[in-house]
Amino acid sequence: MLTSLRSKAVIISVSCLATSTLISLLYDVLRRSKIYSADLEKEKKGKRIPYLTSFLKLDLQNLRKALREGGEVVWLLCFHKTVGEALRETGGIFAFSSPAGKPFVIVNNEDILKDILVHHVARYKKQHANGILELFRKTTLPNSQSPAWRPVHKLASRMCFHSVEKEQKLLSLVDELCVMIKKEEDNRKVNLSALLTDWYWKVTLFLVLGEVPQGFPDAYRDAWLACIDRLSSPLINSFFFYKFIPTPANLWYRYTTWKFRKMMMKKMDDDNKCDWSVVHMMLQDKELNLETSEDRLEVAMEFLFTGTTSVTSTISWLMWHLSDNIKLQDKVAQECIGYQANSTEESFVRDLNKLQLLEVCLKETLRMYSPIHIGRMCKHDDVAGGYSIPQGADIMTNMWWVHRNEDNWKDPNKFDPNRFLDSSGNIVKPDHYYPFSMGLRGCPGQAVAFYISKLVVIRLLSSFRFSSQSQQEPLFKPSLMLPNTPAEMNLAVAPRGDEGKWSRKISS
């Protein structure tokens, strides 16, 4: 009886999987003939995009080598060329298509990017991996039916809102990180990127909710990681229907997202008194038009998706370069320690832009390791920078390819914060620099990113001295969305001494 039940269950599961796979394939074939009818080769309005016919020919050995040496994005294309090299040869744009026929266009040419991201913004849609991110948060608010990004941008610009109480709480969160590092100090070695990532969930939750409720960081981490995993899945990127197939990874993503959204939904209705939190700002500002907790949830979830790994990845890479150059590290540390010693509670956050050396070090880190992949889907046939972009094409770029272009940057692979200083020592904004993307839908969190990164680095450098254990740049985590995230960053760590009042506080 039991055996027959079991075999029936197996038969049902296998047929479900087979049917949904078949539907998925059929759907994509139909979609292809409809949506991708504007074939890359047929379009005559603009120039034809150089087309790589042999699709992705992954060569694992070269892939590992590229990850180790250059950190090019995860794909190695045919002829064993890295994406950067291919872009160099094709004038900054090339295309290929997936086996299901979906065209992918990779760009690093700034004129083409400006057309796509700035001038023709209405022709492109932000869509990642066949809409997989919609499960985590909705881009159209369910109640008001208006786009979520408008209130998101308004709120992001207010997130640096200065409040002594908020800063005190934020600093004590940063102190928790220092305590975590201190615990590892006995081994004289820390995997800094892992510690930062493990800890940072609390910071984002704090900024959004005004507190870190118990159980939330774990649920948040599970849902977020499952989402990133799905966003990077080649199958999800290629086949629209694949996300509905009940594979263990798809089911896990659905479950963790459902669980975390449910926890957040419950929290959205709580009386929120922290005037700096995103939730409070949403409740107070009637002009944002976020009347219902359903709409507020989607906005909160957008903040919980963005601005987490981008910040931890930036801090990690900065610390790696400072660990590799102790002289520079000590200079930045002196600046931080002096700043802390001379600031009052009031001025501590208000004057963060006075930390010039730290600022240019962060800028240089963002040049070298732009953490986020920028994606668009072409809604209507377009001509961008003179090239024909077909409807349905997925456009991808990472500012890595712009920021490491030898035509525009001298020694692009060298960490040199002085690039951001003019001869009088003033900070300059160089051309060809877009770590936060460009246009209406670029990152609205730039100020928050600098604010939080500075708080963390001030605390880390005034408490510890880090040194790298090997000359070799850490490996990158293979990820489509976040291609420049370090996999592991083992640094030697020692207490910096007793130079500043803040470091004394942590050691006591």
- Residue ranges of the annotated binding site for heme are 443
DSSP string, 403-436: HT-TTTSSSTTS--GGGGB-TTS-B---SS--TT
CB of 229 to ligand HEM, least distance (A): 19
Nearer to ligand HEM, 28 or 359 (CB): 359
Nearer to ligand HEM, 390 or 435 (CB): 435
- Backbone torsions φ then ψ of 331, nearest 5 degrees: -65, -45
Assigned token pair, 356 = 């010039």
Give the C-alpha separation, 496 to 120, whole Å. Answer: 51
CB of 453 to ligand HEM, least distance (A): 7
DSSP 342: H
- Backbone torsions φ then ψ of 398, nearest 5 degrees: -140, 130
CA distances, 324 to each of 369, 378, 442 (Å): 16, 42, 32
Which residues line the annotated binding site? 443
Nearer to ligand HEM, 232 or 310 (CB): 310
CA distances, 393 to each of 31, 104, 113, 295, 373 (Å): 12, 6, 14, 30, 16
Strands of the sheet containing 93-97, edge to edge, are: 93-97, 103-107, 394-397, 374-378, 124-125
Decide: 484 and 385 in contact? Cβ < 8 Å: no
Nearer to ligand HEM, 107 or 152 (CB): 152
Nearer to ligand HEM, 332 or 366 (CB): 366
CB of 181 to ligand HEM, least distance (A): 21
CB of 281 to ligand HEM, least distance (A): 12
Which residues of the chain form contacts with ligand HEM (CB under 6 A)? Answer: 117, 126, 149, 152, 156, 159, 302-303, 306-307, 310-311, 314, 366, 371-372, 374, 435-437, 441-445, 448-449
- 248-268 and 293-305 helices cross at what angle (nearest 10)? 120
CB of 158 to ligand HEM, least distance (A): 10
CB of 367 to ligand HEM, least distance (A): 10
Residue nearest to ligand HEM (CB): 445
Nearer to ligand HEM, 234 or 439 (CB): 439
Nearer to ligand HEM, 195 or 449 (CB): 449
Decide: 216 and 205 in contact? Cβ < 8 Å: yes
Containing 490, the helix (H) or strand (E) segment is strand 490-495
Angle at Cα 206 formed by Cα 203 and Cα 209, nearest 5°?
145
CB of 45 to ligand HEM, least distance (A): 25
DSSP 476: B
